[in-house]
Chains A and B, each alone.
Chain A
Amino acid sequence: MTVAPDHDLVTAAADVLGRMGDGASALRALEWTPSPGEGEGTWLPTTLALMRAQGRTLTASPAVAMTRAHVLIPDAIPTDLTVMAGFEIDPADDVVYMVLPADIDDAARVVVDLPLQGLAVVDPSSLSVDGSGVQPLDPAAASRMFCRLDDCKLLPDEAGLTERRIAADGIARFMISAELLGAAEHLMDTAVLYARERIQFGEPIGSFQAVQHMLAEAEAQLYGLRAAIEQLAPLFHGLSAEEADHYVTLLKALAGRTGQRVSQATLQVLGAVGFTWEHEHHRYAKRILTLDALLGSGKSLAFRLGCSALGNQVPRLAVIR
């Protein structure tokens, strides 16, 4: 088996995230910058390692929300301010409901973005946390809020904003996919460790083929996701906007689907103890469900991908160069 080149990076980031507890401080300690900038460089591999570590340690940080803000309005954001951008979820007449993939308390400013209408950079005090109805399964990874349009002073869409929205969604999908990989990897490690140690019928349950095959099926899916992230990362900046959008949509769909499969297989191996409040499994499972739901779940993206393939060529990424 080959060791991933960013293996050390993930371990180091996981160490800092684990120690700091608070994600925003960890980002500062790691001297992480939210702006992908121009061209290739080390930003993407470093950021993906950070997100993977965040998934493994089940920590939360405003990294995705900050990067979204910087891609949306690169020139309007001072780098020393924590500015975040979320996703609009429910267009209404005078109120904007949005999901912020972060904790609102960390925000110095929030970008309220309404496609076709415009955007505004607002003080978090003008946003209200939406406490009604169903709450996000993992509140650390997604908080739901709303603001009144009157308080926002929307600036109209300017040239290039549509392209930047697609780019912002793309990079956010890539980052969330890496976090999904990390969370699924952690669940797999936990279940494998348990299968080696848990004795039933006088043997570790990991020696039974039924258990081995369940974990191996999940590991095969995980292998595919890991390969997809590792192969796509070095090519990403060289892709056209259209290509980047397509492949990162495939990636996010694969990541969501893989996360759920790993979550179910590992729960099955952990058995009843894995379904207790004390066991960490449910917290990872909820993180995975939450990340899957952000910016299109595996199911909805699969439908979208299928629709756009109808009557068209199936693009092939020139992954071997």
Chain B
Amino acid sequence: MIEAVDTGSVVLNGPPLSPQSTRLQFRQWLSDARASLADPARGADYGDRLESVRTLQAKLYDVGWARIGWPEHLGGLGGDARHRAVINDELTAAGFSSRYALEHLEILAPALVAHWQPEQLREVLPKFLRGDELWCQGFSEPDAGSDLVAMRTSATLDGNEYVIRGRKIWTSWALYAQRCVVLARTGAPSERHRGLSVFFVDMDSAGIEVRPLRQANGLEELAEVIFDDVRVPRSGLIGHEGGGWTVALDVLSCERSAFAWLRQARLHARVEALAQSTDTGSAGDLGNVLIDLFAVRMASAGAVNELANGRFIGPGAAPVKVLLTDAEQHTYDLAHRLYDSDLILGTRSHSAPMAEWQEEYLFSRAVSIYGGTRQMQLATIARFLLELPASERRA
């Protein structure tokens, strides 16, 4: 049994707690320790924000909470995706904001647990769990967005090393990350998805150049990453050569479902804030957002439960992402309607909270783009869930 001892360490004594007990114990710990935990910085400097997220994560790791939900042989304290889900839920309920790059713990890490050799993962996962290192995801390319399989970044075996050459784009947190999970072509382009492999690459390797991209909301979260003959040891191959598409699909499954759990947790807190400034005139809109949130919470909970049993829901993640998109965009649509010109011009308040609403409002416009556009989610549902025919004209 895991026991939380004051604000000290979590000690192991027998089998892990149930997710519900974990939730209650973590809630208690958080309430006791709240004063000693700094609120994540929300200032203009993105690097500072990441730094404060890492500081909080290090504290959670040292006490034990950030290790719960990961297998013991990988440096965790046991438990599964459900334990991580309830801890994330409680963090947002206590007012902590987005965890930024640590979201890859729910996007990239589960696929690596499923596909990479444990002895390799054990070396790097604890550093990520503690926030000492950050990871990023090198999938999209300038000419391969929705049509990901058209990607051209290549990996060629040379002796005991792969040599990666190509260019990735829209790579979140690449500027701040120490590692990158890279999808590269090890076969001929004609092999399409069968010729892909996934690599775990050190960002300080020779030949890597990161060019930050300033987003429409002003943040430099995204970047372009150039790989100029970057050498990666064979042990950095995740899964087997030519098996990269399977790994990529599991990553995408999490990016569209387990990630939705993280977002809905944060959105509950944001809608709660909106409910403090809404009047009955907007009650119907507020109610509809609550219904959106309920749908995505229940759907993403199903995905988390599947993940806890070692299953990635694959195409089933597409409707979850659509539900998340609705919930998130409708939340910020409501904020826009409520705060009106204040949100856009700062007519009434010059406060930091309104600046946060403004930034988040802008970011919410892109939920229907990142992690696979809404068009692609709909195409996935049509093809794999509804089994509608492909167009003969396109084929």
Residues of chain A whose beta carbon lies under 8 Å from any beta carbon of chain B: 1-2, 192, 195-196, 202-204, 206-209, 211-213, 215-217, 219-221, 223-225, 227-228, 230-232, 247, 250-251, 253-254, 257, 298-299, 301-307, 309-314, 316-321
Could you list 30 A-B pairs, sorted by A, with CB under 8 Å? A192-B387, A203-B392, A206-B382, A207-B390, A209-B379, A213-B375, A216-B377, A216-B379, A217-B378, A219-B385, A220-B323, A221-B295, A221-B323, A224-B323, A225-B295, A250-B291, A254-B291, A302-B290, A303-B283, A306-B286, A309-B271, A309-B283, A310-B275, A314-B293, A316-B93, A318-B23, A319-B298, A320-B301, A321-B19, A321-B82
Do A224 and B298 have beta carbons less than 8 Å apart?
A: yes
Q: Which of B278, B279, B287 contacts A253 (CB 8 A)?
A: B287
Do A216 and B382 have beta carbons less than 8 Å apart?
A: yes
For B323, the chain A residues whose CB sits under 8 A away are: 220-221, 223-224
Assuming the A-B contacts A217-B322, A314-B268, are A309 and B287 also in contact, with contact meaning beta carbons closer than 8 angstroms in the complex?
yes
- Please tell me if B77 contacts chain A, counting CB pairs below 8 Å: no
Do A314 and B271 have beta carbons less than 8 Å apart?
A: yes
Assuming the A-B contacts A2-B313, A301-B287, A321-B20, are A206 and B388 also in contact, with contact meaning beta carbons closer than 8 angstroms in the complex?
yes
Residue of A whose beta carbon sits closest to that of B299:
A227
What does the 1/0 interface line of B318-338 toward A look like (CB < 8 Å)?
A: 111011000000000000000
For B345, the chain A residues whose CB sits under 8 A away are: none
Residue of B whose beta carbon sits closest to that of A191:
B386
Residues of chain B whose beta carbon lies under 8 Å from any beta carbon of chain A: 18-20, 23, 82, 85-86, 89, 93, 265, 268-269, 271-272, 275-276, 278-280, 282-288, 290-291, 293-299, 301-302, 304-306, 311, 313-316, 318-320, 322-323, 375, 377-379, 381-393
Bound Cα distance from A304 to B291, whole angstroms: 12
For A306, the chain B residues whose CB sits under 8 A away are: 278, 280, 282-288, 290
Residue of B whose beta carbon sits closest to that of A299:
B284
Top-5 shortest CB links A-B: A306-B283, A302-B287, A306-B287, A224-B295, A212-B382
Residue of B whose beta carbon sits closest to that of A312:
B275
The secondary structure that dominates the B interface is helix
Assuming the A-B contacts A203-B392, A220-B318, A310-B280, are A232 and B298 also in contact, with contact meaning beta carbons closer than 8 angstroms in the complex?
yes
Nearest Cβ in chain A — how far from B376, in angstroms? 11
Assuming the A-B contacts A250-B294, A319-B297, are A195 and B388 also in contact, with contact meaning beta carbons closer than 8 angstroms in the complex?
yes
Bound Cα distance from A110 to B85, whole angstroms: 47
Assuming the A-B contacts A232-B298, A307-B280, A309-B275, are A207 and B392 also in contact, with contact meaning beta carbons closer than 8 angstroms in the complex?
yes
Bound Cα distance from A211 to B383, whole angstroms: 12
Residue of B whose beta carbon sits closest to that of A217:
B378
Bound Cα distance from A229 to B124, whole angstroms: 40
Bound Cα distance from A307 to B323, whole angstroms: 23
For B318, the chain A residues whose CB sits under 8 A away are: 220
Do B291 and A316 have beta carbons less than 8 Å apart?
A: no
Bound Cα distance from A209 to B391, whole angstroms: 8
Do A212 and B378 have beta carbons less than 8 Å apart?
A: yes
Q: Which of B19, B315, B382 contacts A320 (CB 8 A)?
A: B19
Residue of A whose beta carbon sits closest to that of B81:
A320
Do A215 and B386 have beta carbons less than 8 Å apart?
A: yes
Bound Cα distance from A192 to B302, whole angstroms: 25
Assuming the A-B contacts A216-B382, A225-B295, are A311 and B389 also in contact, with contact meaning beta carbons closer than 8 angstroms in the complex?
no
Q: Apart from A216-B322, A309-B290, what 6 extra A-B contacts exist at CB < 8 Å?
A: A196-B388, A216-B386, A230-B302, A250-B294, A253-B291, A254-B295
Do A310 and B378 have beta carbons less than 8 Å apart?
A: no
Do A192 and B287 have beta carbons less than 8 Å apart?
A: no
Nearest Cβ in chain A — how far from B36, in angstroms? 24
Do B322 and A220 have beta carbons less than 8 Å apart?
A: yes
Bound Cα distance from A186 to B389, whole angstroms: 20
Nearest Cβ in chain A — how far from B56, in angstroms? 21
For A250, the chain B residues whose CB sits under 8 A away are: 290-291, 294
For A319, the chain B residues whose CB sits under 8 A away are: 297-298, 301
Residue of B whose beta carbon sits closest to that of A302:
B287
Specify which of B280, B318, B385, B388 lies most central, judged by the most chain A CB atoms within 10 Å of its CB: B388
Assuming the A-B contacts A228-B295, A320-B305, are A223 and B319 also in contact, with contact meaning beta carbons closer than 8 angstroms in the complex?
yes
Do A224 and B278 have beta carbons less than 8 Å apart?
A: no
Assuming the A-B contacts A302-B287, A312-B275, A314-B271, are A224 and B296 also in contact, with contact meaning beta carbons closer than 8 angstroms in the complex?
yes
Do B284 and A257 have beta carbons less than 8 Å apart?
A: no
Nearest Cβ in chain A — how far from B330, in angstroms? 12
For A225, the chain B residues whose CB sits under 8 A away are: 295
Residue of B whose beta carbon sits closest to that of A313:
B272
Residue of A whose beta carbon sits closest to that of B272:
A314
Residue of A whose beta carbon sits closest to that of B278:
A310
For B322, the chain A residues whose CB sits under 8 A away are: 216-217, 220
Residue of A whose beta carbon sits closest to that of B300:
A227
Nearest Cβ in chain B — how far from A230, in angstroms? 7
